[in-house]
Structures are given as C-alpha cells and as structure tokens.
C-alpha cells in the first residue's frame, strides 16, 4: 500500500502544504491508494484529507483545498505508482515475439495492463485481469478501455492468444458492457484463421454490445522476417484483402443504418494491400480508431487540402521525404497537389524498404534509422529531409534501433525535419516553414 513521493511541483496545491519528497501517500479521503487509478479518482475532489507516512516513519494527516480535477502536483517513483503488469499470453501473431535480438530491453516487454489501457490507450486482452481489478474498473468507471478481441469464438480465442482464459476475457467484456463501460476494440486479422465467417460472427457479436463497444478496427497481421519456430501464419494477399475490406464495409453499412455508426473500420494498410482507394473523410465519422492506423492517411490528406485553401507563402526550398513504402504514394500525390496549386514545390519522396524487420513490413512507424541512412546515402536530399513523427519513439529523437536524429543528420549531411501526424504540419514542412 502507498506510493513514495519523489518530488512536488512548484506552485501546485501540494506545494502549499507540508508534503515533501520522501513521504509516502497512504490514503485520500479515507481510501487506500494502491496505484495511479486510485490516486487520480480519489484526488479529483476539491477538499482532500491525505494520510502520509513521513521519512521518519510517522503517520500524519494533511488537509488541502484545490479546484475540482486539478492535479495535486505529486510525482511518484513510477507513472503507475507500482509495476506495469506484463502479458501472460502467447499470441500466435505477437509482434514482440517477432523482434530481432539485440534491441533495447524495453521493446521486449509485453504489457497487458488495464490501467495503461485507460490512461495511455494501450490494448489489453482481459485474460490477465483479476476479479478485484474487474470490479474496480466498474466501480471507478474506468472508461474507455481498449480491448484486443480478435475473435468472439471462445475456443478460437484461447488458441489465438495462447491462453486458457480467452473465454473469460469475453465474459468480462459482456460484464463491462452491462455496466456501461465504453470499449474500443481491435481485431488482428490472420488469413485462414479469424477472417471470413469467423470475422462475420465476431462483428455480429460485438455489434450486439453497441454502444458499449464503441468502435472496432480490423488490422492485418504484421509478419516480420524473424518468425523462426513461431506459429505459421500467412500474410494478406490482394484478393483476400479485398474480400475482407468488402465484408467489413458491408457489415459497417448495416450498423450505420441500425445504430447511426459503422462501428467497424479497416486499417489503411488493408486498403493498400487490396489496391483500393481510401474511403472519403465522412466515412470515418469522428476517427475513433486513428491510433490503430484507421483513416490516418485520409485525415492527413483532408488536413493537407484544407491548408492549401489558405496556404502560407511558399518559401521554394527543395526537400526530400523518407517514409514507409505504404505511405510513399500518398505523400507523392500530396506534393503534386501542392505544386499544382502553388507552383514551385520541389521534393523527392523515397520509400524506405524495411530490411531490419523484413520487406513485408511497409509502415513508416517501423522504419529504422539504419535503413533510412543506408537507403538514402548518396541520394539527392536537397538539404532537407522530412520524416514522420511515428518513426521515433515516445516523442523523442530515437528510432527503434537506437539511431538518433543527430546520427542521421551527420551520416547524410542533411537537416532533418520531423513532421507531426497532421496535414497542416506536413504542408508547412513542404513549403519550408
């Protein structure tokens, strides 16, 4: 019980009290504090009674007033105020199991923590949830949470997750739905395993839980070149991708008619694999699955077009773009659009093949610094290289393989401009701003 305080933010409500680094927060308004969820929920009120254990081992009571929802300004040893819960599953499609050796240790950690689902948008399977944790989600109204479903067939889900608790996770979903907890879900679709009729059954079962099941993304399985001794999986080919897109769009259209929402959306990657154009902006409603790569390119294109309607002045500074193979064609079309509207827009787009994970991985978010350097070495880069933010980890300047932005700039003798996942920022970068 309790969490040790390592610092207090200056000017915060806590800074106006006797609370100091080294104290341990035991309870708030009579409620024991076990982790960040307890802390954020019970510290939301305006009047608080905090019980702390000082560095001398003595308990003391601290009272304070603050605005409703205002952060206390306490910082703890870890974000969760305890350890992140690791995943006990052995999913047949797990991407972490497909990583090459020698990467930094944090990349091999598999989390399956409901708290990170609520606070950071991580996806969880609900197979590692205790009864106490499940009840606390309901009691504290921890909503929304993100759930990796994959299939609603209990036996198949157990096989896909490599866990005998696959069916229990589905039972928790029904329980959460009954309690009004909102869930955003994902289906990692594996050809020949949970597509076709299985996918149709899963969509029917999940749509029956609407509006608690708010949205569902259908994402193609990602297969790296490092699958030795792992479950034999097949990638999507063009025909199977087209069949899957058609099935999801048909079912989504029925949901739209019945519920006012499509609920189900295919990831951009499935449209690309199918050789199909992306749906228009209105199709994606309020883009509920953007972080899962659903509608990401359409939103980028929409924002870029909106920026062209009242563009900043074109600085006529040539540039180059390094991105994943999947996105390269879309970026090229946007540059042509900008040149047609404004003139003088001159840039080269270089699709970076993924030698690190294998060329079947074609998304920009998994391009490594080494691949970027090796494939752009000696190419005309025009002094400026634009790369998308999602190539970098946690908002910093480090690629998956620990190569940094300064490393790339030094190796290629170029200035790197990191572009946010925003069409307006892309337009600014293209125009030299």
CATH of the domain at 152: 3.80.30.10
263 and 313 in a single domain? The answer is no
pLDDT of 172 strictly over 70:
yes
Which of 337, 345, 344, 356 is CA-nearest to residue 386? 345
215-234 residue pLDDT tens: 999 999 999 999 989 999 99
In a domain, 310, yes or no: yes
Which of 199, 236, 198, 188 is CA-nearest to residue 92? 188
Evaluate the CA torsion angle 287, 293, 298, 303 in order and state its sign. Answer: positive
pLDDT band of residue 395 (cuts 50, 70, 90) is low
- The per-residue pLDDT for 135 is 93
Q: For residue 140, count other CB atoms closer than 10 A to its CB.
A: 14
Domain boundary among 236, 258, 292: 292
Phi, psi for residue 121 in degrees, rounded to 5: 85, 10
Q: For residue 357, count other CB atoms closer than 10 A to its CB.
A: 23
| Of residues 37 and 109, more confidently modeled | 37
394 and 423 in a single domain? The answer is yes
Phi, psi for residue 7 in degrees, rounded to 5: -160, 160
Domain boundary among 45, 76, 107: 76
In a domain, 90, yes or no: no
Bridge partners of 264? 216
pLDDT band of residue 192 (cuts 50, 70, 90) is very high
The answer to whether the CB of 112 falls within 8 A of the CB of 125 is: yes
β-strands 74-76, 347-352 pairing: unpaired
In a domain, 216, yes or no: yes
354-392 residue pLDDT tens: 999 999 999 999 999 999 999 999 999 999 999 999 999
- The per-residue pLDDT for 370 is 96
In a domain, 69, yes or no: yes
The answer to whether the CB of 46 falls within 8 A of the CB of 66 is: yes
Q: Which SS3 state, helix, strand or coil, does residue 257 take?
A: helix
120-168 residue pLDDT tens: 788 989 998 889 889 989 998 989 999 999 999 999 999 999 999 999 9
Domain boundary among 234, 268, 292: 292
pLDDT of 111 strictly over 90:
no
- The per-residue pLDDT for 148 is 95
Q: How confident is the model over 77-85, as a mean pLDDT?
A: 81
pLDDT of 394 strictly over 80:
no
Q: Is 293 left (phi over 0), alpha (psi -120 to 50) or beta?
A: left
Which of 330, 351, 320 is CA-nearest to residue 429? 320
CA angle 91, 95, 96 (to 5 degrees): 95
In a domain, 305, yes or no: yes
325 and 266 in a single domain? The answer is no
Q: How confident is the model over 316-320, as a mean pLDDT?
A: 91
Our count of domains for the chain comes to 3
46 and 108 in a single domain? The answer is no
Q: How confident is the model over 25-37, as a mean pLDDT?
A: 92
Give the range of the structural domain holding residue 55, as residue numbers without chain letter. Answer: 3-76
pLDDT band of residue 1 (cuts 50, 70, 90) is low
184 and 244 in a single domain? The answer is yes
Task: Supply the CATH number for residue 35's domain.
Answer: 2.30.42.10
304 and 284 in a single domain? The answer is no
> pLDDT exceeding 70 applies to what percent of the chain?
99
Q: What is the mean pLDDT of the chain?
A: 93
In a domain, 243, yes or no: yes
216 and 331 in a single domain? The answer is no
236 and 329 in a single domain? The answer is no
- The per-residue pLDDT for 159 is 96
pLDDT of 314 strictly over 80:
no
155 and 245 in a single domain? The answer is yes
Kindly report which listed range (280-294, 354-368, 393-407) carries the lowest average pLDDT score: 393-407
Residue 33 burial (10 A CB sphere; 0-12, 13-18, 19+)? buried
310 and 418 in a single domain? The answer is yes
> pLDDT exceeding 90 applies to what percent of the chain?
81
338 and 281 in a single domain? The answer is no
18 vs 8: CA distance, rounded Å? 10
Q: How confident is the model over 21-41, as a mean pLDDT?
A: 93
Evaluate the CA torsion angle 78, 80, 82, 87 in order and state its sign. Answer: negative
172 vs 170: CA distance, rounded Å? 5
In a domain, 89, yes or no: no
In a domain, 81, yes or no: no
251-262 residue pLDDT tens: 999 999 999 999
Which of 60, 68, 45, 53 is CA-nearest to residue 3? 53
269 and 365 in a single domain? The answer is no
- The per-residue pLDDT for 80 is 80
- The per-residue pLDDT for 313 is 78
Q: What is the largest CA-CA distance in the chain?
A: 72
């Amino acid at each position: 019980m309790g969490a040790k305080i390592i610092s207090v933010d200056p000017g915060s409500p806590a800074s106006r009290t006797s609370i100091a680094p080294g104290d341990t927060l035991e309870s708030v308004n009579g409620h024991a504090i076990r982790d960040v969820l307890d802390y954020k929920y019970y510290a939301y009120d305006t009047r608080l009674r905090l019980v702390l254990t000082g560095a001398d081992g003595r308990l003391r009571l601290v009272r304070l007033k603050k605005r409703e929802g205002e952060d206390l300004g306490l910082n703890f040893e870890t974000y969760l105020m305890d350890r992140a819960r690791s995943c006990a599953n052995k999913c047949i499609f797990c991407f972490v199991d497909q990583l090459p050796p020698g990467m930094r240790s944090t990349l091999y950690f598999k989390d399956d923590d409901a708290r990170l689902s609520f606070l950071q948008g991580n996806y969880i399977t609900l197979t590692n949830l205790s009864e106490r944790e499940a009840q606390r989600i309901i009691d504290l109204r921890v909503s929304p949470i993100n759930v990796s479903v994959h299939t609603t067939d209990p036996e198949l889900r157990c096989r896909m997750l490599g866990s005998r608790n696959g069916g229990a996770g589905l039972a928790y979903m029904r329980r959460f739905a009954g309690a009004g907890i909102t869930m955003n879900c994902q289906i990692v679709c594996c050809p020949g395993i949970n597509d076709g009729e299985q996918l149709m059954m899963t969509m029917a079962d999940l749509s029956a839980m609407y509006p608690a099941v708010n949205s569902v993304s259908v994402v193609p399985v990602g297969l790296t070149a490092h699958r030795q001794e792992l479950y034999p999986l097949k990638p999507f080919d063009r025909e199977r991708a087209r069949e899957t897109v058609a099935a999801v769009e048909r079912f989504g259209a029925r949901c739209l008619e019945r519920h006012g929402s499509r609920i189900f959306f295919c990831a951009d990657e499935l449209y690309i694999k199918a050789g199909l154009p992306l749906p228009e902006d209105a199709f994606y409603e309020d883009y509920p699955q953007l972080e899962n790569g659903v509608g990401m390119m359409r939103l980028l294109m929409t924002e870029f077009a909106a920026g062209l309607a009242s563009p900043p002045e074109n600085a006529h500074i040539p540039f180059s773009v390094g991105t994943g193979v999947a996105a390269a064609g879309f970026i090229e079309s946007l540059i042509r659009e900008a040149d047609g509207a404004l003139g003088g827009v001159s840039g080269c787009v270089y699709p970076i093949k993924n030698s690190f994970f294998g060329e079947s991985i074609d998304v920009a978010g998994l391009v490594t610094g080494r691949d970027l350097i090796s494939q752009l070495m000696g190419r005309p880069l025009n002094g400026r290289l634009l790369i998308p933010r999602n190539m970098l980890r946690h908002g910093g300047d480090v690629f998956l393989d620990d190569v940094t932005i300064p490393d790339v700039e030094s190796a290629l003798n170029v200035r790197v401009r990191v572009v946010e996942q925003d069409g307006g920022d892309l337009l600014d970068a293209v125009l030299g701003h």
